[in-house]
Amino acid sequence: MFVAARSLEARAYDALVAAGADDITPTQARLMAQIDQGGTRVVTLAARARTTKQSAAFLVDQLERAGYVERVADPRDGRAKLVRLTARARALGDRADAAVAEALAEWEAHLGATRMRQLEETMSMLREITDPWA
């Protein structure tokens, strides 16, 4: 599972670089992938990345300077900030998603439609007991 997941991650990252985002590191890309549509607090990003709040904040600072994320007030708590993807980052995310979809189509061509559907169902079932943010 790890090898397959890393393969998808590499395809997504390569698509970012091919789209001109050669200033994003794989670590920064992984963090960006954890940002929810409405925004995510740095402490949550740190927990998802299994790193310190300081490390996550450092990565967010870099991404903010490069124009990929912005910090906005959390509407539920005026004292807190949310990290949100910019339009530029969302467009790059679309490119990464397309690369992943292409890879999954290749997997289905290799496995067959039935096995691919079974794989997706199995992975969804495993997510229920392995992903604390599911």
pLDDT at 131: 86
Stretch (H or E) spanning 129: helix 113-130
Q: Assess contact for 99 and 15: CB atoms under 8 A.
A: yes
* Residue 31, φ and ψ in degrees, nearest 5: -65, -45
Task: Express each pLDDT in 65-116 by its tens digit.
Answer: 999 999 999 999 888 999 999 999 999 999 999 999 999 999 999 999 999 9
pLDDT at 78: 81
Structural domains of the chain ordered from first start:
2-130 (1.10.10.10)
Q: Assess contact for 98 and 18: CB atoms under 8 A.
A: no
* pTM for this prediction: 0.86
Distance (Å, whole) CA 32 – CA 35: 5
Q: Assess contact for 13 and 29: CB atoms under 8 A.
A: yes
Task: Find, among 20, 98, 33, 36, the residue nearest to 59 by Cα.
Answer: 33
Distance (Å, whole) CA 66 – CA 64: 5
State the pLDDT confidence band at 132, using cuts at 50, 70 and 90. Answer: confident
Task: Express each pLDDT in 5-31 by its tens digit.
Answer: 999 999 999 999 999 999 999 999 999
